[in-house]
Amino acid sequence: MVWNIHFQFAALVIALVIAIMCFGQKRLNFAAERAFTKLLFIVIVCVILDILSIFAINYRDEIGSTLTQISCKAYLFSIVLVACYAAFFSVAEIRYTFKQFWIYMTYVPLVVEAVVLFMCPVKVYVADNDIFTYGIPVLVTYAFCALYIIATFVMILCLRDKINLKRRYAIYFWMIAWLVAAIIQFVNNELLVVSLAMAIGCMYMYCKLENPEYHLDFATNVFNRKGFEMIMSEHIKYHEKKALVNMEIRDMNMVNEVFGAHAVETIILAISKFADNIPDSTLFRLEDNLFCIALDKPEDAEKALEYIMKRFELPWSVENGTMEIGVSLSYIEDTLKFKSVDDLEEVVHYFAAESIKRPPSEILTINDEELAVRQRSLEIRHAIEWALHNDAVEVYYQPIYNIKEGRFSAMEALVRLRDDKGSMVMPSDFIEYAEKNGMILKLGEVVFRKVCEFIQRMHVDEYGIEYIEVNLSVVQCIQTDMARILKNIMGEYQIPPYRINFEITETATGSSKVIDKNMRELLDYGCSFSLDDYGSGYSNLTYVVNLPLKIIKIDKLITDSYFLSEKVRIATEYTIEMLHKLGMEIVVEGVDSEEKYLAFKKLNAEYIQGFYFSKPLPKDRVLNFIQEWL
């Protein structure tokens, strides 16, 4: 008897070890994973049939020719079946793009193989150290395996843009290993290495692609961000509706400061175990403190939200005590609203950040209205980025009337943007967004450069313009190098510092130490400062008294209310009187009628700004307008 089964037993051990590792971990059960599981199962069956066929050949006299034929034919059929499912596995990620006709066509060689095996006998050759099968069924098996291998290569080459690079390389390795093994076995019948090549191919694909640990968070043993992207991408592609509950764990910085990093890990682990036990759900950890729970039905999500809220009303164990931990919840009813997993993931992160701004007890429902707000934010971001990149940032100037001198002596620079369609985007739409996202730093620098260039080229002093007011945001004010950057720009355009008056808001004055340093440096350089929108914020008198301000600008809200409320009228009159006694000049904003102009002129305000005289004008019109007043 010839027992040439060393390679087969090695292959069986490898395949079984892979199966144990694969099924010993939590699995997402996405399409590629299911395809690999089927392929691995068929490989194991194929290897077992290979071993059984050798037993059958060796004991053919005892068991009879019928069982021997069945054993050998079953093995040959399983080889073609492995080749078929290897082809399926190679395109598992994009199977939705195939028409049903082509899927059916893939099974045709299997049917033909079955017919050939049924009609033609398998011939057996046994020698001293050699045992193999031959005949028409064997040749047909080799031919169909070659056909599947070639078809798989062709599919991967044609669809390479749609197939993951690692998957392509893994399939290439599998096919080349199998092809080399088949050639070796065809040339040298003593080396039955096809089964070993299949097992090694499975091992390589498992290590490269299908190891469930790739999709698990090491610290909590729940699915990670990669797992979320993988399974949600598949749900969206196949139009499988899911509901999502997002949990942003609060207070972790405080826990870290009080109890240390180990306590944070303990609480996060406890929370993940709790959330992972929610019925009919799949838990993902997207960031350190952000979890996402996927559920099949909206009603399941509502139950999960209630379940989570009740649990977070109770304290969590930490070190030797307990601590109440807050959670911010957001809820997506239908993931099919999103075209891609990137869109979905961006929405999850966006609203997780938004939910933190709300009370812990409030659940943020991500409905069409909320998505529209986010979409508008994205459009604004795109408009800012496009404008900065394409020099579409424009500066308009609103003249400021000097009552005493009866002329325009200053202007305020106001930023405008044009989007990629040429439409104007107003500051009320983009300033707040730019401040929240740090884009105001680049935007502010571009605006200041344009103002300096305008002063240099247009010689505004010849039109009686003594200075131009430039707004500084809170974000700019807290930058330690703000003064240096602004001074460098003024130096670059050779602008006398007294031509610039910087406007800051009451909010900016709250960062007193930082802003005081920047203000002192710019004042020493020769610039001046105004407090903008006075009366719209907290109007803290301490800041007004202590900061080196030259001008106070009365907010339009106060200007309008002056004529509507007796209390506001009295408070405004006393405020202007007080500011004059402090040696400050007054600009009244929002003056849009003669009545308002005359009223504040009577109160001895030095400057008037508003539509009564002029709305903000582009740079090519504003000086012509001022010229008409000279």
Contact status, residue 295 vs residue 242, Cβ threshold 8 Å: yes
**What local confidence, expressed as pLDDT, does residue 432 receive?**
85
pLDDT digits (tens, 9 = 90+) for 107-121: 888 899 899 988 998
463: tokens are 């039109």
Joined tokens for residue 374: 């986010």
Residue 546 CB neighbours (<10 A): 12
Residue-wise pLDDT tens digits, 410-453? 999 999 998 888 888 888 888 988 988 889 999 999 999 999 99
Instruction: Select the more confidently predicted residue: 166 or 279.
Output: 279
CA 587 remoteness from chain centre: 45
Beta bridge partners of 469: 412, 501
CA distance 417 to 602: 38
Whether the CB-CB separation of 51 and 15 falls below 8 Å is answered with no
Q: Return the number of other C-beta atoms located less than 10 Å from residue 17's C-beta.
A: 13
Q: Which two tokens stand for residue 110?
A: 């299997």
Band of the pLDDT at 1, cuts 50, 70, 90? very low
Token digits of residue 47 = 């290897």
pLDDT at 538 over 60: no
DSSP bridge partners of 395: 415
Residue 87 pLDDT > 90: no
State the pLDDT at residue 3.
Answer: 52
Average pLDDT over residues 511-536: 86
pTM of the complete model: 0.63
Mean pLDDT over 372-400 rounds to 91
The two structure tokens encoding residue 20: 């144990």
What pLDDT is stored for residue 97 in this prediction? Answer: 60
Q: Which of 510, 448, 435, 446 is nearest to 476 (CA)?
A: 435
The answer on pLDDT for 539 being more than 60 is: no
Phi/psi for 202 (5° steps) reads -65, -40
Each residue's pLDDT tens digit, 27-50: 777 777 888 889 999 999 999 998
Rounded-to-integer distance, Cα 195 and Cα 181, Å = 9
| CA-based max dimension of the chain | 123
Contact 596, 563 (CB under 8 A): yes
* Strand 327-332 relative to strand 243-249, pairing: antiparallel
* Mean pLDDT to the nearest integer, 171-182: 84
- pLDDT, one tens digit per residue, over 294-337 is 998 878 888 999 999 999 999 988 777 788 899 999 999 888 88
Tell me the sheet residues that pair with 243: 295
Q: Which domains does the chain have, with CATH numbers?
A: 6-213 (1.20.1070.10), 216-366 (3.30.70.270), 377-629 (3.20.20.450)
pLDDT at residue 386 above 60? yes
Distance from C-alpha of 444 to C-alpha of 332, rounded to nearest angstrom:
36
Question: 605 by DSSP, 3-state: which?
Answer: coil
Q: Which two tokens stand for residue 30?
A: 């996405």
pLDDT, residue 537, reads 55
Tell me how far apart the alpha carbons of residues 268 and 249 are, in angstroms, rounded to a whole number.
Answer: 8
The separation between CA 451 and the C-alpha centre of its own chain, rounded to angstroms, equals: 36
| Residue 202 burial (CB count, 10 A) | 26
Q: How far apart are CA 468 and CA 454, in angstroms?
A: 10
For 219-277, write each residue's pLDDT tens digit: 898 999 988 998 898 888 878 889 999 999 988 888 888 888 888 899 999 999 999 99
By the 8 A CB rule, do 470 and 413 touch? Answer: yes
Residue 126 has phi, psi (to 5 degrees) of -130, 125
Q: What is the distance between the alpha carbons of residues 443 and 608, in angstroms, rounded to a whole number?
A: 27
